[in-house]
Amino acid sequence: MLSDKVLAENLDRIDYYTLLGVARDAPLAQIRDAFHKFAIRFHPDQHIDDGETQQRVLKVFKRGSEGYRVLLDPVLRARYDAAIARGESRLSPDAERTKVVGEAKVGSVADQALPPDVQPLYTQIADSLRRGDVKNAKAFMMLLGRKSNHPKVQALAREVLEAEQNLLRRR
């Protein structure tokens, strides 16, 4: 286990998976458990006696929280996995805030309401991705068929494709 000092000094080279101590194919429940342990160890309130240590753990804790947020979201996680493949250790703030839909950037794809008949399948796809079940996510995506012209569904479809490609690369 790396010390807070080593982690703080190397944050720009450590990916979210390594920081939280989980495998790249870790299911959502394992990521939650890992973050809970991480938070207990690195929360700044645990180090109030030493100002220098508190500042170091604050840096580490912020980065771990960022990683936790990204890894819990199937869209951001797939995007992050693609960023890792490019040699990046963090997901850019722009990648978190915007999604590319066709040629136009949409500020928040998540804010766009889905038709009621699409919502259940969309939820199944997102849940499957969160669990790391790419095969199931792809199957649900195929069930959507022609209903998948909604920008939110198209964005998720791209993430399913990215997750499938990442899975193939790991084999």
In the prediction, which pLDDT does 108 show?
A: 45
- Segment 80-90 mean pLDDT: 87
Question: Is-contact 61 43, C-beta < 8 A?
Answer: yes
Closest CA to 72 of 140, 135, 18, 132: 132
pLDDT tens digit sequence for 52-66: 778 888 888 999 999
pLDDT tens digit sequence for 18-51: 999 999 999 888 999 999 999 998 888 876 777 7
Closest CA to 139 of 160, 154, 155, 158: 160
DSSP 8-state code for residue 108: -
In the prediction, which pLDDT does 43 show?
A: 86
In the chain, what are the domains? 4-72 (1.10.287.110), 97-170 (no CATH)
Q: State the number of CA atoms in the 13 A half-sphere of 158 facing the CB.
A: 14
